[in-house]
DNA sequence: CTGAAAGCGCTTACAG
DNA sequence: CTGAAAGCGCTTACAG
């Protein structure tokens, strides 16, 4: 038994398929009586419109695609969560495709989604990804979240990675640190590069010499980087990691080596993933409202799909906010307050986060 | 300028639409010369087949839906990651819909996906969800992952929550604990209930009295529960939390209260999310290969979509494995090894996890 | 307010 | 090996 079609419903309700369509779409005038009969037939037949047929007639899919480089860690799940909420509210379905480390895989995913979605959100923090995405998408609207690539004239949302990094370094300097190391993100990643550039600039501006070790945005790489820093003769008294994941890894490496945070070394991350407020000491970081950014991205894409398509060519910049927590409290304390640094207790609050 | 259709391609290649279709689908015989001409035209026109039209002709969407109760925390992102990998390998798209706390929202999501997907994976750990899902899905194959509900004759994957809980309690008893508390998951959640039941049974079997506080599977709720336990006159010497999130929250609550883990209190979670191996002390837990389970679920659903549909009525049971880490090392140590409990260092390894 | 009919873009027997 | 044509299930002017 095949699923019921609009014709079956029409027949059972003794009306034309046009009327069934009108009732179901709330478009066009219908008598209340007709309405009721149609609805009853729909119910009886368990009728669900064929989305493909509908999309063929309307040239709309009511679906948007999200192309992600990865799906590890809390950053992306938070982002998807925000998008999902907005998508549901706007009547869109969310098609996700992740694990596209390189531009090739990302473009394959993009191709496979074309024609299946009304719009795309592309997170691809690699050089050239922006052009690629816009090229491949054809007429499909694309919202770029490619972290710093030139997005000239294309709708996009980028984080002010450079400014955030500068703020991190300045905060560390202000709290009395001098030997500030940076754990960098993966080479070729534009977000990582912008954060590195911000670090280098702020250090140069302060006349401090730099110390950079490489990482890959994972906790494990942060831990390794931390171990390398611990072993150095000129051990840093502060570490700014290019994301929270690595900062947490480095935090553990230092603590495992018997060093105290923030007494011996201060630690600052980037992103403010839920975990950041949870580790001890809680991690100072550059806060991005990740889920909010996801929601915003989806809402903007949907606007892009509509008639306003061509008017939106803006590159929206999200400015991360420095959130100072226990991991970078000034040491020696600049305030008269004693004991802050020696206490192992941080604010026990989880800030209401619901991870 | 509208996107090119198969007709445009046919015209440009000077063949019929049927031939274009054959080339594109690799079905039916075509001359190499025809093939080349068609491919060239496709390339020149940037042609992408309309998925709706194709789905209308073939009655296939090449998409599967995933209905989740939530998208917080690492459990679900790991699960989706596993599904995504499998989906891509099998040529399917993944439509996700989350935040369906109650059965109503889940069924709304399910309705909206019908006709848009070839199959559904439903995670809905609520009573009645199984029947609901199967009822609403109509002819769409459904793979249930509803954690313990009766799944009689319906394809499903469930975790052995009861067995895992028993193993957790027995481990704690074996390592010398007596006053073992349980932090329960949300009421009405079948996974949570099965874990609670396992705890109660194992405690009864050992002749120990029980101590249960409520939680909601979030870190924050685990922390609150931990604070409540710390404050009790009959403070427990061990805590088994219904998931890792809550165990981590409780761990922090105990540590913030100045208690030592595992010396003063042992801690055991459930799931083995990446974070479990990362907190200090590392968390003993019941390990589920989350991404692997996701991959498996998707592969099985795709098999369900095929001709083998009706032969699969199995309820596959996943048995979690007890992984003993620092948070529940026997104390006082049963081995002669000294210092284990007093050392703050846990295994520094991140176990290669890439969060 | 309602219905007959064209058309959306594809696939697939069926002839040739 | 190739093409003409029917058909998939919907929506939407267009008449009435």
Task: Express each pLDDT in A323-336 by its tens digit.
Answer: 999 999 876 554 43
Q: For residue A189, is pLDDT > 70?
A: yes
Q: Model's pTM, two decimal places?
A: 0.87
Angle, helices B6-13 vs B17-25, to 10°: value is 100
On whether the CB atoms of residues A299 and A289 are closer than 8 A, the answer is: no
- Tell me how close the Cα of A215 comes to any Cα of chain B, in angstroms: 12
The lowest-confidence range among A267-281, B85-99, B105-119, B264-278 is B105-119
pLDDT attached to residue A149: 65
Q: What sign results for the dihedral spanned by CA atoms B124, B292, B296, B87?
A: positive
Given pLDDT bands bounded at 50, 70 and 90, which one contains residue A132? low
Q: What sign results for the dihedral spanned by CA atoms A176, A179, A185, A190?
A: positive
Burial of A25 (0-12, 13-18, 19+ CB in 10 A): exposed
Q: How far is Cα B157 from Cα B288, in angstroms, rounded to an integer? A: 13
Q: For residue B121, is pLDDT > 50?
A: yes
Q: For residue B78, is pLDDT > 70?
A: yes
**What are the helix (H) ranges across A65-149?**
73-90, 103-113, 129-137
Determine the distance between A129 (CA) and C7 (C1') in angstroms.
38
Pair of tokens at residue B206: 């050992």
Interface test with B, best of A115, A283, A310, A342 (most B CBs within 10 A): A115
Cβ of A17 near strand D (distance < 7 A): yes
Of B54, B55, B96, the CB nearest to A94: B96
CA-CA distances (angstroms) from residue A272 to A16, A193, A214, A337?
Answer: 56, 19, 21, 27
Strand D bases with any atom < 7 A from protein Cβ:
1-5, 7-13
| Residue from B312, B294, B295 nearest B303 by CA | B312
At CA A239, angle to CA A233 and CA A241, rounded to 5?
130
Give A36-66 pLDDT, tens digit per residue: 889 998 988 888 899 999 999 998 999 999 9
Q: Does residue B345 belong to the interface with chain A, where contact is any CB pair within 8 Å?
A: yes
Cβ of A219 near strand C (distance < 7 A): no
Q: How far is Cα A262 from Cα A176, in angstroms, rounded to an integer? A: 12
| CB–CB contact A51 B48 (8 Å) | no
pLDDT attached to residue A343: 37
Cβ of B27 near strand C (distance < 7 A): yes
Q: For residue B340, is pLDDT > 60?
A: no
Give B214-226 pLDDT, tens digit per residue: 999 988 899 999 9
Query: Which neighbouring-strand residues pair with B214?
Result: B184
At CA B144, angle to CA B96 and CA B306, rounded to 5?
85
Chain centroid to Cα A167, Å, comes to: 21
Residues of A in contact with B109 (CB under 8 A): 88
Determine the distance between A27 (CA) and C9 (C1') in angstroms.
24
């Amino acid at each position: 038994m095949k699923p019921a079609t609009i014709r079956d419903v029409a027949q059972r309700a003794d009306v034309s398929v046009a009327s069934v369509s009108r009732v179901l779409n709330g478009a066009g005038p219908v008598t209340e009586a007709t309405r009721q009969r149609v609805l009853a037939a729909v119910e009886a037949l368990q009728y669900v419109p064929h989305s493909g047929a509908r999309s063929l007639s309307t040239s709309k899919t009511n679906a948007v695609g999200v192309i992600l480089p990865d799906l590890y860690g809390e950053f992306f799940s938070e982002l998807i969560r925000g998008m999902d909420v907005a998508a549901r509210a706007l009547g869109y379905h969310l098609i996700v495709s992740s694990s596209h480390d390189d531009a090739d895989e990302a473009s394959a995913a993009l191709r496979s989604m074309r024609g299946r979605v009304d719009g795309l959100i592309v997170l691809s923090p690699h050089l050239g990804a922006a052009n690629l995405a816009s090229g491949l998408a054809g007429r499909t609207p694309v919202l770029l979240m490619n972290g710093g690539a030139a997005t000239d004239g294309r709708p996009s949302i980028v984080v002010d990675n450079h400014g955030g990094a500068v703020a991190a370094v300045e905060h560390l300097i202000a709290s009395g640190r001098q030997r500030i190391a940076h754990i960098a993100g993966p080479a070729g990643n534009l977000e990582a590069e912008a954060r590195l550039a911000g670090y280098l600039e702020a250090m140069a501006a302060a006349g401090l010499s730099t110390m950079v070790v490489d990482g890959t945005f994972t906790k494990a790489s942060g831990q390794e980087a931390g171990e390398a820093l611990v072993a150095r003769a000129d051990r840093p008294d502060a570490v700014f990691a290019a994301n929270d994941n690595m900062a947490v890894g480095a935090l553990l490496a230092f603590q495992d080596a018997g060093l105290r945070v923030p007494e011996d070394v201060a630690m600052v991350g980037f992103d403010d993933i839920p975990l950041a407020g949870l580790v001890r000491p809680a991690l100072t970081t550059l806060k991005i409202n990740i889920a909010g950014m996801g929601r915003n991205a989806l809402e903007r894409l949907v606007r892009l799909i509509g008639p306003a398509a061509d008017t939106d060519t803006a590159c929206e910049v999200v400015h991360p906010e420095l959130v100072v927590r226990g991991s970078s409290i000034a040491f020696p304390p600049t305030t008269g307050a004693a004991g802050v640094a020696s206490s192992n207790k941080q604010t026990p609050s989880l800030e209401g986060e619901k991870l």
